[in-house]
Amino acid sequence: MPTSLKFVHTINAPAPLVYRAFTNATALREWLCDVATVDPKVGGHIFLAWNSGYYACGEFIKLIPEREATFIWSGRDDPAPTTVSVHINALDSGATTLSVEHTGLESSPQWARASEEISRGWNNGLRNLISVLEVGPDLRIVNRPMMGIMFGDFNKKRADELGVPVTEGMRLEGTVDGMGAQKCGLVKNDVIISMNGKPTPDFASVTNILQGLEAGNSVEVVIYRGAEKKRLSMELSRRPLPDIPRNTQALGETLAKMYDQVDGELKQALEGVTEEEASFKPRPDDWCVKEVIAHLIHGERDTQGYISELYFSQERTSDGFIDNLPSRISATVACYPTLGEILEELFRSERETVHIVGNLPEEFNQNKASYWRLAFNMLQFPIHNREHINQINDVLQAARKKG
């Protein structure tokens, strides 16, 4: 067993971006890990974590901007701390030679598994680094199969409402037409408690289970539908990838067209709706139409903050799924009390989002990893918005039945 691992690649990307990939938390999340926080100075910390449960922490011991980054690596269950040395050499062609050497491993039985996992991790990670720096796509997303599920909040209160006898699981907010979840019979408010024999208490557990699986593979899904426990076999679907516009200006134009189409569907759903109908709640804890629109407004506002964080490479991290704060929903409805007012605020917020994206500085386009991630995430919005249009139609149907 080798006592060190060395990987050398030539990457068609400038040295500053390669150096950033090892010293910036946002950049590290874009190719290597799921969670990262760093303080890029000698003696500053580096912490990396994966949804699999593995993590590594340490500190930087040498930093030469655009040339070298060396840090201690103390991985979970690793027998002892090791050292990672990154050397970067800018070439006249504009490309960069990258050398990553992981030293301090030992040739002993207790190191055998750790060394194998570390080697596999670096091989997969560096392959992804080349992809995100040269062309943008994150191979972990591109190659990961899909279930075709939109998840919603789930807690004890929601479990009691649904009659589900567990409080840990992933509740379905909806499914995507034609994909594995819908085909196998999953429906809104089903609660997935395990997949392939592994528990699914949170979103990270689901993504971790999907790692290593491919489109076409079948997985056993255990759910609660109310109090009834069911076992279903679901075939994983191939991830449909959107056409990524060439730059942020083109992305803004694409988003504007998408918003126009979805907003047209929303206007059609709300045609002739009275204030009374827009304020109707089928049950005390359900959202009325105005509250659904308030939720969509918050989505736009949160997205605008996310864009700013991504641009400055200063993303916030979360310990789990962020639920909807009732007082935030009610505050927005109170400030825009009529259906016309709250609808106009949604459309205004969407226009603001489009303007922010379309006017991001040109330099952001050069960071292919962040641009691809932004574009990929934002092009998923119509799925979310249409699900809530369906929710609005259901609420209005209930209101008219009562009336």
DSSP state letters, 325-354: -HHHHHHHHHHS-SHHHHHHHHHHHHHHHH
Specify the 3-state DSSP secondary structure of 222.
strand
How many other CB atoms are found less than 10 A from the CB of residue 359? Answer: 10
User: What DSSP element (H or E) covers 359?
Assistant: none
Specify the 3-state DSSP secondary structure of 312.
coil
At residue 376, the pLDDT reads 95
At residue 214, the pLDDT reads 83
Residues 6+ apart with CB under 8 A from 230: 222, 223, 224
Average pLDDT over residues 309-338: 90
| pLDDT at position 1 over 90 | no
DSSP 217: -
Which pair of structure tokens corresponds to residue 229? 């426990």
> What is d(CA 357, CA 369) in angstroms, rounded to the nearest whole number?
16
Residue 163 near residue 227, CB atoms below 8 Å: yes
pLDDT, tens only, 143-159: 889 898 888 889 898 99
The residue whose two tokens read 């962020």 is 322
Average pLDDT over residues 4-20: 97
Specify the 3-state DSSP secondary structure of 297.
helix
| pLDDT at position 320 over 70 | no
Alpha carbon separation from 252 to 129, 256, 290, 321 (Å, rounded): 26, 6, 27, 28
> What is d(CA 119, CA 45) in angstroms, rounded to the nearest whole number?
23
Find the range with the poorest average confidence among 71-80, 171-180, 185-194, 220-229: 171-180
| pLDDT at position 403 over 80 | no
At residue 121, the pLDDT reads 95
User: What DSSP element (H or E) covers 380?
Assistant: none
pLDDT, tens only, 84-102: 999 999 999 999 999 999 9
Q: What percent of the chain has pLDDT over 90?
A: 79
| pLDDT at position 116 over 70 | yes
According to DSSP, the β-strands at 45-49 and 228-235 are unpaired
Higher pLDDT, 318 or 320: 318
Q: Where are the domains of the chain?
A: 4-136, 149-235, 248-402
Q: How confident is the model at residue 329 (pLDDT cuts 50, 70, 90)?
A: very high
Higher pLDDT, 96 or 216: 96
| pLDDT at position 318 over 80 | no
At residue 377, the pLDDT reads 93
Residue 75 near residue 54, CB atoms below 8 Å: yes
> What is d(CA 74, CA 79) in angstroms, rounded to the nearest whole number?
9
248-402: what fold? Four Helix Bundle (Hemerythrin (Met), subunit A) (1.20.120)
* CATH value of 149-235 in 2.30.42.10, 2.40.128.260, 2.60.40.1110, 3.40.50.300: 2.30.42.10
Average pLDDT over residues 124-150: 93
At residue 321, the pLDDT reads 64
Residue 8 near residue 18, CB atoms below 8 Å: no
4-136: what fold? Alpha-D-Glucose-1,6-Bisphosphate; Chain A, domain 4 (3.30.530)
At residue 169, the pLDDT reads 94
Which pair of structure tokens corresponds to residue 220? 């056993």
Average pLDDT value over all residues in the chain: 93
b (16+ CB within 10 A) / e for 96-123: bebebebeebbeeeebeebbeebbebbe
At residue 170, the pLDDT reads 93
> What is d(CA 33, CA 311) in angstroms, rounded to the nearest whole number?
19
Q: How confident is the model at residue 317 (pLDDT cuts 50, 70, 90)?
A: confident
Higher pLDDT, 293 or 390: 293
Tell me whether the CATH fold assigned to 4-136 matches the one assigned to 248-402: no
At residue 70, the pLDDT reads 98
pLDDT, tens only, 26-80: 999 999 999 999 999 999 999 999 988 899 999 999 999 999 999 999 999 999 9
Specify the 3-state DSSP secondary structure of 113.
helix
Q: Where are the alpha helices (DSSP H) in 135-221?
A: 139-142, 156-162, 180-183, 203-210
Q: What percent of the chain has pLDDT over 70?
A: 99
pLDDT, tens only, 176-185: 888 999 999 9
Which pair of structure tokens corresponds to residue 210? 């999907």
Q: How confident is the model at residue 2 (pLDDT cuts 50, 70, 90)?
A: low
At residue 383, the pLDDT reads 78
Q: How confident is the model at residue 378 (pLDDT cuts 50, 70, 90)?
A: very high
pTM value?
A: 0.83
